[in-house]
Structure 1
């Protein structure tokens, strides 16, 4: 399959990119980036683009895609609502319209989060914006899947671009095995996310469209992948 990744420089996007490069089912990866990733691989092709609200100039690059893995996002902390809406909602919908044009068989996966508010009426700004984004994606004419992970443990060198988060992950990484035992329904890894995104592309729009950490871990289980290949 041929996929495009938005947000490949972020922690989640790095994990998804590495999963795609390792997986034999993925034949080509297009990464839409603001600057070079510094990653070299025969499968990988980068397109540098700066205006994520308008992808018209690179629309021809999206021909023949099977899936879009949208991992671009920011924390709402310290941001005004207008800025958060532009990055979280506007960038996502611009990408969805560009990659999904005349491609109803496309699978679009969006990294949302636990607590997303699809009523769009709650008190939490980030949850309302994520909910609005999910609602609009699910109404579009392609196969859309919303990923709502809780705590995400970075794996295989994936690191957050946010300095505060990097420090927090360094301080708390030892906790992941504990969290996995105590609250397994609320934790996953960047690697499981990547493999789960590849897995849902094979579902052809079937199954639940909103996936939480248990669904992500089940679909992204490496033992399950080996069983399928056997």
Structure 2
């Protein structure tokens, strides 16, 4: 498997979203965004959307793989190799950011129960605590639909646990996005996902905003939320799949 991730052409953004990005850049000309998990399916879309918007003067990605990008605002991209097992060695990585987009995650089936918890809980929470101490104002998390700390399903339970623990931290604004099935061209299509990919088109006829959402739409929703004026950002906001679709359409 290649150690380099190549980002595709940045997405086209609406006139309204460009105006929103321009207003944000004018109000915060030195704003910095940090992306955790930038090489995953949602993470890479977040990076592409951030760079396409030009809203942030610096887009820092904490990555294990090098990202290849030659699109607009490429000079804003800063890549830093990170070892999540030794975050104390990377404390400076978490300093000086206005917003953090957390797209860390794996699956229990792929990683096993222990490593899944380490990535989806420990890596997320350890990073969030460092960001809180460093004064980051906005934390945006890509979680999952049906997350619930009391769920009988381990995946949903851990996702819900993380959401609850994040709410105890003192960010100015915490935005939690709970997408359902993620639609994208996956590098690794697991058996269950392949099966679902055949069902999704039919199910979307019955439930167009409930059953699935594209990774690009999730990214646009996350970036849009980060660009709202501070006065318009709730202390805690949780976006369902249908709300992600509506919010993403604004970008």
TM exceeding 0.5: yes
User: Are 1:217 and 2:239 counterparts?
Assistant: no
For the residues of structure 1 that align with 2:206 and 2:91, how far apart are their CA atoms?
45
Q: What does residue 131 of structure 2 align with?
A: 99
Structure 1 stretches of at least 4 aligned residues deviating more than 4 Å after TM superposition? 173-176
Q: Could you tell me which runs of 5 or more consecutive residues in structure 1 were left unpaired when the two chains were aligned.
A: 226-230
Deviation (angstroms), 1:173: 7.5
For residues 92 and 190 of structure 1, do their structure 2 counterparts lie closer, same or farther at Cα, with a shift above 3 Å needed?
same
For residues 172 and 81 of structure 1, do their structure 2 counterparts lie closer, same or farther at Cα, with a shift above 3 Å needed?
closer
For the residues of structure 2 that align with 1:4 and 1:181, how far apart are their CA atoms?
37
Farther-moved stretch of structure 1 (29-38 vs 57-66): 57-66
The answer on whether the counterparts of 1:54 and 1:94 sit within 8 Å (CA) in structure 2 is no
User: Are 1:129 and 2:158 counterparts?
Assistant: yes
Paired residue for 2:186, among 160, 169, 184?
160
TM-score, length of structure 1 as denominator length? 0.81
Q: Where does 1:26-175 land on structure 2 (aligned, <5 Å)?
A: 26-40=56-70, 41-49=74-82, 51-77=83-109, 79-103=111-135, 106-117=137-148, 120-142=149-171, 143-154=173-184, 159-164=185-190, 168=194, 172=197
Matched residues, number: 213
The answer on whether the counterparts of 1:53 and 1:90 sit within 8 Å (CA) in structure 2 is no
User: Are 1:193 and 2:221 counterparts?
Assistant: no
SS at match of 1:13: helix
RMSD: 2.6
Deviation (angstroms), 1:206: 1.0
Deviation (angstroms), 1:134: 0.6
Q: What does residue 7 of structure 1 align with?
A: 37
For the residues of structure 2 that align with 1:26 and 1:182, how far apart are their CA atoms?
39
Paired residue for 2:207, among 183, 202, 207?
183
Q: Could you tell me which runs of 5 or more consecutive residues in structure 2 were left unpaired when the two chains were aligned.
A: 1-30
